[in-house]
A = this chain, B = another copy of it.
Amino acid sequence: MVRYDIKCLRCGEKLPVKTWVWRHDRDNGTLSITYRGLEKHELSELLLKEYMDIRRYINILPVSLKYLNIAPIGFTPIINKKFRGVSVFFKLDYLLPSGSFKDRGALVSIAKAKELRIKRIIEDSSGNAGVAFSLYSLLYNIEANIFIPADAPSGKKALLKSLNARLHEVQGSREEVNRAAIDFEHRSRGAYVGHWWNPFFIEGVKTLAYEIHEQLGLDKVDSIIVPTSSGSLLLGVFKGIMELKSMGEISNIPKLIAVQASGYARLCYELGYGMGAEKSKLADGLRIIEPPRIGEMVLAIRETKGTCYHVTDEEVTEGLKKLWSMGFLVEPTSAVVYAALKKAISEKVVEKGENIVIILTGSGAKMLDKVLSIIRT
C-alpha cells in the first residue's frame, strides 16, 4: 500500500490515521486522503492484476488487503450504445451487491472500520447508502445503527431490518436526523460513517474511475455524466481521475457533467445555473440541500470544464422509460442521466463522434412496483 495522509481541507492540518476520523472537529473541515509520492508510480506497477475486483487497487486504497478479502466486489459491466451520433458507455454500477454504487464507498469505509477494531457504525440514510452500510456491516460482523426520518416508507424500514440494522427513527427534518446520528456517535463510542463527510467513502467510490479507465481507457472519454446530491459520486470519480493524471496514466481529463434533481440543485445553483423551479418528488435519492463538500464539488466541475443540469420529474419519467426500454433496469433517481444527455447534446457540451460515459447508479429491482407504475403511465 502507498502510504497516505488524512488532511483537513479547511486548515491543511494532518489528522491521525490510526483512529477513525470523519471531519476536523476543530474547524468543521472536510477531510481528504492523499497518497505520498503517487506521481512517482505507474498504475501498472500498483495493480494487483491477479484480482478482477476491487483488490486490484489495494495499493491505492487506505485499507489493507486482509480487510478487503472479506467482501471483494467490483468490476461492473459497461454496455455501449449509439445515441444521436454520440457513443454512450453505460457503466452498470447498479449491479453491485446492495443495488447501488454506494457499495464501493460503504465497503472501503466498513473494511477500514474493521481494521480499526470498530464494532459499531452510525449512518443517517434510509436510502441506498443505508442499505449499503447495513449490508457491509452484516458481511463484516459490525453493528449498523441507521438513523432515518420517522416517516420513511415502511418498505425501506423492512429492508433495513432484514439486514439486521438497528433503526433509529427521528421525528423532524433531514438535518435533525443527521444531528441525532452525530450525537449518537459520542454517546455510543461508535464510528460515524456518514457518506456526506467520511473520506474513506470517496476512496471507495474512486475505484469507479479506475475501472472505467481499465475497461475503456479514460483518454478517449470526453465526458462523464454523474447524478449528484451529496457529492460522493462526483468527488470519487474526480479523485480517481486526478490520481490517474498525477501518475501520468492519462493526459486527457473528461468533463464531469453533474445532474441534480430540480428544486434541490445546490451545485447547479452555486455554478450559476439556478436550483430548478419545480421541487422533484421522484428523484428522492438526490434531495440534499446543504452538502458539506459543496466547495469541492464546484472545483470538480470547474477543473474538468464540466457543467451541471437540473432535471424535472417529467424528465425523470421519460428517462426511466427510455432506460428500461434500452435494457437498463434502474431506479428513478438514476434516470436523471437521460435528460442530462439530451441537454448536453443539444447545448453542444457533448458533440457528435464523442465518447461519453454515463454512470447508472441504482437498481430499480428493490422498488419494482414503483418503477413499473411509472413506466406504465
Q: In terms of DSSP, what is the predominant structure of the interface of chain A?
A: mixed
Contact with B along A341-377 (1 / 0, CB 8 A): 0000000000000000000000101101101100110
Contact with B along A71-94 (1 / 0, CB 8 A): 111110111100000000000100
Q: Are B80 and A77 in contact (CB under 8 A)?
A: no
Is A5 an interface position by the 8 A CB rule? no
* Cα separation A136 to B326 with both chains bound (whole Å): 10
**Chain A interface extent, by class:** 35 or more
* Cα separation A279 to B136 with both chains bound (whole Å): 36
A72 to B, closest residue via Cβ: B77
Question: What's the nearest-Cβ distance from chain B to residue A98, in Å?
Answer: 8
Q: Are B95 and A52 in contact (CB under 8 A)?
A: no
Q: Which residues of B contact A96 (CB under 8 A)?
A: 95
- Asked, given contacts A97-B92, A159-B368, A368-B366, whether A327 binds B72 with beta carbons under 8 Å apart, the answer is no
As for how many copies of this chain the complex holds, the number is 2
Q: Which residues of B contact A159 (CB under 8 A)?
A: 368, 372
Is A38 an interface position by the 8 A CB rule? no
Q: Which residues of B contact A162 (CB under 8 A)?
A: 324, 371-372, 375-376
* Cα separation A30 to B375 with both chains bound (whole Å): 40
Q: Are B324 and A163 in contact (CB under 8 A)?
A: yes
Q: Which residues of B contact A163 (CB under 8 A)?
A: 324, 327
A interface residues, Cβ below 8 angstroms from B: 52-53, 69-75, 77-80, 92, 95-99, 135-136, 138-139, 155, 158-159, 162-164, 214-215, 324-327, 329, 363, 365-366, 368-369, 371-372, 375-376
Could you pull out 18 A-B pairs where Cβ atoms are within 8 angstroms? A52-B52, A69-B80, A70-B79, A72-B79, A79-B139, A92-B97, A95-B97, A97-B327, A98-B329, A135-B327, A135-B329, A139-B326, A155-B369, A162-B372, A162-B375, A163-B324, A164-B325, A365-B365
